Structure 1
Amino acid sequence: MNNSIGDAIRGAFIDIWSDVINFIPEFVASLVILILGYAFAVIAGAFVERIVHMFRVDVLADRMNIHNTLKKIGFDFSFSNTLGVVTKWFFIAVFLTAAVEVLGWTQIVTFLNDVVRYIPQVLIAIVILAVGLMIASVVEDGVTKTLQVAKTVERPATLGAVAKWAIVTFSIMAALTQLRVAENLIAILFASMLLTIGISFGLAGKEHAQRFLDRLFV
């Protein structure tokens, strides 16, 4: 009886020790992957930030008043820094996935693979937002100057701002759709926004349209 209990305890300790011995090389390998991966991610993020900064994207954003527009809607960041950070975390997620896969933790690997596949969507959303804000700035300036020259309205800057914020709103919705955030809700909000703008401009331009029709048919 005592011998069987002792053998069972001894066997359990041998199994545990064997598992520990087998786990150590996997743990060391995953740790090396993490350390090298983190170093590579930091370098890659800094490189991307430097490249974007070299192309003077932030300077262009300042000239086009994009940073001020972002601050008004609660976002205070530079494009070069943001793209650098996203790049860094993308590679961290990639190497973390490889490290966890060495350990054989399949459920965590599946989750991290989903994260890695999602990060490019974040980059695309940032590009969509950046391009949309640039277009919004150009449209605002163009509408305002055109109306000032034409002298057809009393407040050209107001209409320019309306055009700008319409494009900004559309860009935000497009970016959220790219991120797959409440796609159905975004579609409903976008349709409602277009309907509201259409009705507002329709009511505002009713008198001008009536005068045009009177001149046309009288």
Structure 2
Amino acid sequence: MFFDTWTLETTKALINLWVGFLNFLPNLVGALIVFIIGWIVSVVIGKIVAEVLNRLKINQIFEKAGWKEALEKAELKVKATDFIGAIVKWILVIVFLSASVEILGLKEFADAMNSVIGYLPNVVVAVLIFVITVIIVDIVEKVIRSAVEGVRVGYGRAVSSIVKWAVWTFAILAILKQLLVVPDLINIVFGALIYGVVALFVISFGIAFGLGGKDVATEILRDVKERIKK
């Protein structure tokens, strides 16, 4: 009697397990299809992004900015365009993975994936800030160096380097703020830096105007004295 009861309960458990698997199977197949298609789409789009950036000569700009050498020192022998393309690919993979998890009905894991996806726009914006900064720094450095050297001033390279690192400082702070890395501290530092740059500009302008306007002021006073004598 006991053996028959045990056999019956075991059979029921196995049947329930099999029925549950059959009910879960469509979701599993659907999740696998979504993820496989998503993986293919992600790889293709990542390669397209890398190729477009390569045609825009982003690699050359990164090389001029010294980032290729820095990455090689860190033993990361990868092109900038391939690196950005890989970021795009993995962002899309995470999105499709989240969709697959939703299909499987794994709520806790899906909530965790949604939190990651919610953070991804910050990563995208941070990458865009980085790429745009590299391009801007390259352009600004060339313009300032040419302008300063055009008037035959010997410190053109120094001025362009100062401007370059000033732009990079702002960019790094903006990237950290976008990634929500100690945002309160970044806001304080960012605000102080802006005030410092503005104050430096005002002081520099005042000094330049004072030195350059001294002769003009002398001429004005001389003209006033001559008119008074007349």
Query: Counterparts in 2 of 1:57-136, with a 5 A limit?
Result: 57-62=58-63, 65-66=64-65, 68-69=66-67, 78-136=79-137
* Cα pair 2:35 2:100 within 8 Å, conserved: yes
Q: Which residue of 1 aligns with 2:35?
A: 34
Larger Rg: 2
* Cα pair 2:61 2:138 within 8 Å, conserved: no
Q: Which residue of 1 aligns with 2:156?
A: 156
Distance 1:28 1:87 in 2: 26
Which residue identity is paired with 2:29?
V
Relative to structure 1, the CA distance from residue 125 to residue 2 in structure 2 (aligned partners, 3 Å threshold; closer, same or farther) is same
Shift of 1:161: 0.7
Distance 1:70 1:199 in 2: 35
Distance 1:97 1:29 in 2: 13
Q: In angstroms, what is the RMSD of aligned CA positions?
A: 3.4
Distance 1:35 1:149 in 2: 58
* Cα pair 2:145 2:157 within 8 Å, conserved: yes
Relative to structure 1, the CA distance from residue 23 to residue 190 in structure 2 (aligned partners, 3 Å threshold; closer, same or farther) is same
Q: Which residue of 2 aligns with 1:146?
A: 147
| Percent identity over paired residues | 24
Q: Which residue of 2 aligns with 1:43?
A: 44
Relative to structure 1, the CA distance from residue 78 to residue 170 in structure 2 (aligned partners, 3 Å threshold; closer, same or farther) is farther
Question: What TM-score results when the alignment is normalised by the length of structure 2?
Answer: 0.73
Which residue identity is paired with 2:167?
I
Distance 2:212 2:41 in 1: 66
Aligned length: 214
Distance 1:47 1:155 in 2: 42
Structure 2 unaligned residues grouped into runs of 5+: 219-230
Distance 2:204 2:68 in 1: 29
Secondary structure of the equivalent of 1:39?
helix
Question: What TM-score results when the alignment is normalised by the length of structure 1?
Answer: 0.76
Q: Which residue of 1 aligns with 2:16?
A: 15
Distance 1:206 1:95 in 2: 57
Query: Counterparts in 2 of 1:187-202, with a 5 A limit?
Result: 187-197=187-197
Shift of 1:5: 5.6
Q: Which residue of 1 aligns with 2:223?
A: none
Structure 1 unaligned residues grouped into runs of 5+: none
Distance 2:97 2:167 in 1: 38
- Segment of structure 1 superposing worse, 41-50 or 24-33: 24-33
* Cα pair 2:62 2:68 within 8 Å, conserved: no
